[in-house]
């Protein structure tokens, strides 16, 4: 219960009977579905729905922005897929920090002016948007959505 | 509770570390989890407070034992579902807990009703941990600090949290404003008891956002100040409700009481929300329970909320109907076994 999960420390109504836990892959962290663990199903669906509505336009969102080819899609040390990071905000091992550095190096300032531009910032904006919605921080979410729209409306010159 | 305040239910400080070169527990194999335990268990054993600690191997715990630990809040739900390669070490006084391979390789929780007590337990634990782990290669980056499975939590490896009961702010319709304010203050908040997407029981958990290295003591102090302001605000709002909005306050309390006293089926949400208001009524002196002291009643009601919540979490949807009958029956007999009367406000 406690913290982070205590990510944001709330007591999720996690059913712990052996059957359910096994079905969810909870007894074997190896097969653990990250999204399921950190966003109990109903919650995740809702988050996904809101994010979909918020993004509206950019249909082929995270799939393959240009320039993606020279980016590693898996951590060579632990085989963690970049994809899962984009969906869950979690990493696989300490080395993922170096391998995927580009993903969160762009992250912080949401409200700054300039168009940090590019696909990396698009992905990180989407991650931030997802997190903002999960936090129910709709103000930040709206700001992020507007920036994503800008990126979509005037694709790189 | 008891000596604690009417608002702060508990303070928790979470300390996390990861080993360099091993996948985080959520992405690790059984072998690498074992290797992490082999490296870290001796560190915990070296610490003074843990020499006579109780070590538990999650793979050897029965379902019932997990439930028991969960009920005593000595495990996180995440940890309770873990198996091979995951360990829990309890300090002899059960004031702190170490979990190996929870969400991070090493997680320690220090808890207490008093934020100050939790802080001193945490700083003692940090000092001992640092001494005991001099030779451990922690996953650490000079700029980002201690690396965590969640990049947004990389930093000084410590997080401060408090669980607050805020029925006054809830009744006054101010929770949205609180949540906006917390966002600006860099404190995250969420419902402590979630029912689907919504919180119930007017109970919230607030956490500091992990900061850069060496900002530990400032964050500890800052978070403590934000939380005392929250506590004060809640108490002020309760007074305002008493003075300016008494009919509405009494109506909410009276309805909650009616539900607990006479319902034959209670959903967990109804139960938590109603118990929250009965606790408020007891703290405000609207109900008297002689010979029991208000603080004793509040503690018992808080314990009921917790037990019903664990029971529902373990029972699952299939048992909901049976549980809802049982909840209502438990409450009816609990109330009829404790003489009580409402103040003249209710006549
Ligand atoms: Zn189940
Ligand atoms: Zn990795």
Q: Are residues B233 and B285 in the same domain?
A: no
Q: Does A58 touch chain B (CB under 8 A)?
A: no
The pLDDT value recorded for residue B69 is: 76
> For residues A1 and B77, is the Cβ–Cβ distance under 8 A?
yes
pLDDT on residue B103: 87
Yes or no, beta carbons of B101 and A90 under 8 Å apart: no
Contact A1 B76 (CB under 8 A): yes
pLDDT of A49: 57
Tell me the average pLDDT of chain B. Answer: 88
Tell me, yes or no, whether B166 and B203 share the same domain: yes
Determine, for residues B313 and A94 on separate chains, whether the beta-carbon distance falls below 8 Å.
no
| Residue A78 alpha carbon to ligand 2 centre in Å | 4
- Helix axis angle for B320-336 and B246-262, nearest 10°, is 110
Query: Which residues are paired to B198 by β-bridges?
Result: B195
**Interface check A70 vs B, CB under 8 A:** no
Looking at the structure of chain B, the number of domains it has is 3
Judge if B233 and B251 occupy the same domain.
no
End residue of a domain, out of B138, B159, B191: B138
Query: Between residues 73 and 112 of chain A, which touch chain B (CB distance below 8 Å)?
Result: 78, 80, 89-95, 97, 104
* B134 and B33 in a common domain: yes
Q: Is residue B2 part of a domain?
A: yes
Å between A152 CA and nearest CA of chain B: 26
In a domain, B143, yes or no: no
Per-residue burial over B135-152, b = 16 or more CB atoms within 10 Å of its CB, e = otherwise: ebeebbeeebbbbbbbbb
Last residue of one domain, picked from the residues B138, B168, B202: B138
Residue B206 covered by a domain: yes
Shared-domain flag, residues B127 and B210: no
The residue with greater pLDDT, A36 or B175, is B175
Residues 71-130 of B with CB under 8 A from A: 73, 76-78, 80-83, 101, 103, 109, 111
Tell me the whole-structure pTM to 2 decimals: 0.72
Question: What does the CA dihedral B267, A132, A15, B90 come to, rounded to 10 degrees?
Answer: -110
Question: In this structure, are B269 and B324 located in the same domain?
Answer: yes
Together in a domain, B23 and B117: yes
CB contact under 8 A, B83 and A27: yes
Find the mean pLDDT for residues B302-310. Answer: 83
CATH number (domain holding residue B38)? 3.30.590.10
Q: How far is A29 from chain B (nearest CA, A)?
A: 5
User: Cβ of B177 under 8 Å from any chain A Cβ?
Assistant: no
Question: Among partner residues B22, B33, B147, which is closest to A97 by beta-carbon distance?
Answer: B147
Query: Per the CB < 8 Å rule, is A9 touching B161?
Result: yes
Whether B323 is covered by a domain: the verdict is: yes
Q: What angle do CA A76, A81, A85 make, to 5 degrees?
A: 125
Which residues of chain A are under the pLDDT cut of 50? 1-44, 46-47, 57-69, 106-118, 156-157
pLDDT at B314: 66
Complex ipTM: 0.74
State the DSSP string of A23-65: HTTTT-GGG--HHHHHS-HHHHHHHHHHHHHHHTT--S-SS--
Greater confidence (A154 vs B334) lies with B334
More confident residue, B26 or B98: B98
Q: Which two tokens stand for residue B48?
A: 């003074």
Whether residues B47 and B1 share a domain: the answer is: no
Residue whose tokens read 């109900």? B287
User: How many whole angstroms from B321 Cα to the centroid of ligand 1?
Assistant: 15
Same domain, B123 and B220: no
Proximal ligand: closest to the CA of A14:
1
Answer whether B165's CB lies under 8 Å from B10's CB: no
Helices (H) and strands (E) in chain A, counts: 8, 0
Average pLDDT over residues B248-274: 96
Of all ligands present, the nearest one to the C-alpha of A18 is 1
Shared domain check, B167 and B122: no
Examine residue B146 and state whether it is found in any structural domain, yes or no: no
pLDDT, mean of residues B69-86: 74
Q: Could you tell me the pLDDT band of residue B275, with boundaries at 50, 70 and 90?
A: very high
What is the reported pLDDT for B261?
Answer: 97
Do B282 and B195 share a structural domain? no
- In A77-137, which residue ranges form alpha helices assigned H by DSSP? 82-88, 96-99, 101-105, 118-134
CA of B239 from ligand 1 middle (Å) equals 43
Q: How far does A144 lie from chain B, in Å, by closest CA?
A: 15
Considering chain B, what percentage of its residues have pLDDT values greater than 90? 54
B168 and B200 belong to one structural domain: yes
The partner residue sitting opposite B24, judged by closest CB among A3, A7, A92, is A92
Domain annotation covers residue B292: yes
CB pairs under 8 A between A and B: 169
Hey, are the CB atoms on A4 and B14 less than 8 Å from each other? Answer: yes
Residue ending a domain, among B106, B138, B170, is B138
Is residue B182 assigned to a domain? yes
Q: Is B6 on the interface with A (CB under 8 A)?
A: no
> Could you tell me the residue range of the domain that residue B48 belongs to?
19-138
For residue B129, tell me if it sits in a domain.
Answer: yes
């Amino acid at each position: 219960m406690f913290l982070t999960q205590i990510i944001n420390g709330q007591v999720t109504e996690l059913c712990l009977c052996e059957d359910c836990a096994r079905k969810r892959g909870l007894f074997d962290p190896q097969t653990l579905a990250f999204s399921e663990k950190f966003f109990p199903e109903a919650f995740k669906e809702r988050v996904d729905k809101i994010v979909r509505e918020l993004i509206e336009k950019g249909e082929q969102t995270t799939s393959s922005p240009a320039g993606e080819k020279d980016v590693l899609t898996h951590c060579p040390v632990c085989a963690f897929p970049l994809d899962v990071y984009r969906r869950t905000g979690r990493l696989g091992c300490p080395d993922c920090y170096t391998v995927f550095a580009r993903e969160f190096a762009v992250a912080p300032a949401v409200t700054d002016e300039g168009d940090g531009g590019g696909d990396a910032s698009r992905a990180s904006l989407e991650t931030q948007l997802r997190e903002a919605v999960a936090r129910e921080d709709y103000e930040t979410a709206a700001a992020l959505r507007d920036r994503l729209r800008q990126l979509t409306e005037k694709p790189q010159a | 509770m008891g000596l604690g305040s009417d608002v702060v239910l508990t303070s928790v400080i979470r300390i996390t570390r990861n080993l360099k070169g091993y996948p985080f527990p959520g992405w690790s194999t059984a072998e690498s989890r074992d290797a992490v335990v082999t490296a870290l268990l001796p560190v915990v054993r070296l610490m003074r407070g843990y020499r006579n600690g109780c070590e538990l191997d999650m793979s050897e715990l029965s379902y019932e034992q997990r439930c028991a630990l969960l009920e005593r809040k000595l495990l996180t739900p995440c940890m309770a579902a873990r198996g091979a390669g995951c360990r829990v070490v309890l300090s002899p006084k059960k004031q702190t807990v170490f979990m190996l391979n929870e969400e991070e390789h090493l997680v320690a929780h220090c808890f207490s009703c008093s934020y100050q007590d939790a802080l001193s337990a945490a700083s003692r634990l940090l000092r001992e941990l640092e001494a005991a782990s001099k030779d451990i290669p922690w996953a650490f980056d000079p700029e980002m600090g201690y690396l965590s499975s969640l990049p947004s939590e990389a930093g000084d490896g410590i997080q401060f949290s408090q669980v607050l009961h805020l029925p006054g702010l809830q009744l006054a319709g101010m929770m949205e404003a609180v949540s906006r304010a917390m966002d600006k203050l860099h404190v995250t908040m969420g419902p402590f008891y979630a029912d689907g997407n919504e919180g119930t029981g007017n109970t919230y958990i607030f956490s500091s956002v992990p900061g850069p290295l060496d900002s530990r003591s400032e964050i500890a102090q800052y978070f403590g100040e934000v939380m005392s302001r929250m506590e004060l605000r809640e108490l002020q709002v309760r007074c305002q409700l008493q003075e300016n909005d008494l009919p509405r306050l009494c109506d909410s309390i009276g309805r909650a009481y009616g539900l607990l006293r006479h319902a034959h089926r209670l959903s967990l949400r109804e139960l938590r929300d109603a118990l929250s208001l009965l606790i408020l009524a007891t703290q405000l002196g609207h109900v008297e329970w002689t010979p029991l002291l208000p603080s004793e009643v509040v503690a018992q009601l808080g314990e009921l909320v917790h037990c019903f919540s664990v029971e529902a979490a373990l029972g699952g949807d299939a048992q909901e109907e049976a549980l809802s009958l049982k909840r209502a029956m438990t409450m009816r007999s609990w109330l009829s076994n404790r003489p009580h009367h409402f103040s003249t406000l209710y006549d």
